[in-house]
Amino acid sequence: MAVMRAGKYRSGWAVRVMSVFAVMAVLGLQGVRAQSAQTFAGHDAASATRIDHTAFDALLRAHVVPAEAGLTRVDYAAFKAQSHDRLKAYIASLAGVDPNGLNRDEQFAYWANLYNALTLDVVLDHYPTASIRDIDISPGLADGPWGKKLIEVSGVALSLDDIEHGIMRPIWRDPRIHYAVNCASVGCPNLRRQAFTARALEEMLDAAARDYINSPRGVSVTSGVVAASSIFSWYRRDFGQTPKDVLDHIRRYAEPGLKAELAGTDYVSQFSYDWALNDVEAKGAN
At 31, the pLDDT band (50, 70, 90 cuts) reads low
pLDDT at 38: 84
The candidate with the shortest Cα–Cα distance to 66, out of 275, 197, 198, 215, is 215
Q: Would the pLDDT of 286 be above 70?
A: no
Q: Would the pLDDT of 284 be above 50?
A: no
Torsions phi, psi of 109, nearest 5? -60, -40
Instruction: List, as one string, the DSSP characters of 52-96.
Output: --HHHHHHHHHHEEE-GGG-EEE-HHHHHHHTHHHHHHHHHHHHT
The candidate with the shortest Cα–Cα distance to 174, out of 104, 224, 121, is 104
What proportion of the chain, given as a percentage, has pLDDT over 90? 82
* pLDDT 10s digits, 211-256: 999 999 999 999 999 999 999 999 999 999 999 999 999 999 999 9
* Integer Cα distance of 192 and 140 in angstroms: 32
* pLDDT 10s digits, 98-119: 999 999 999 999 999 999 999 9
* Average pLDDT of the residues in 206-214: 98
Q: Would the pLDDT of 268 be above 50?
A: yes
Cβ atoms of 219 and 227 within 8 Å: the answer is yes
Q: Which residues pair with 74 in a beta bridge?
A: 64, 279
CB atoms within 10 A of CB 124: 21
* Integer Cα distance of 144 and 138 in angstroms: 6
Q: Would the pLDDT of 142 be above 60?
A: yes
* Integer Cα distance of 161 and 205 in angstroms: 20
| Helix H or strand E encompassing 122 | helix 104-126
At 141, the pLDDT band (50, 70, 90 cuts) reads confident
- Average pLDDT for the chain: 90
* pLDDT 10s digits, 150-162: 999 999 999 999 9
| Helix H or strand E encompassing 204 | helix 201-213
> Which of the residue ranges 35-49, 52-66, 147-161 would you say has the lowest mean pLDDT?
35-49
164 alpha carbon, distance to own chain's centre: 7
Instruction: List, as one string, the DSSP characters of 3-16.
Output: EE------SHHHHH
3-state SS string for 208-266? HHHHHHCCCCCEEEECCEEEEECHHHHCHHHHCCCHHHHHHHHHHHCCHHHHHHHCCCC
The candidate with the shortest Cα–Cα distance to 160, out of 191, 130, 120, is 120
* Average pLDDT of the residues in 62-73: 96
* Integer Cα distance of 246 and 229 in angstroms: 12
Q: Which residues pair with 151 in a beta bridge?
A: 158
Q: Would the pLDDT of 283 be above 60?
A: no
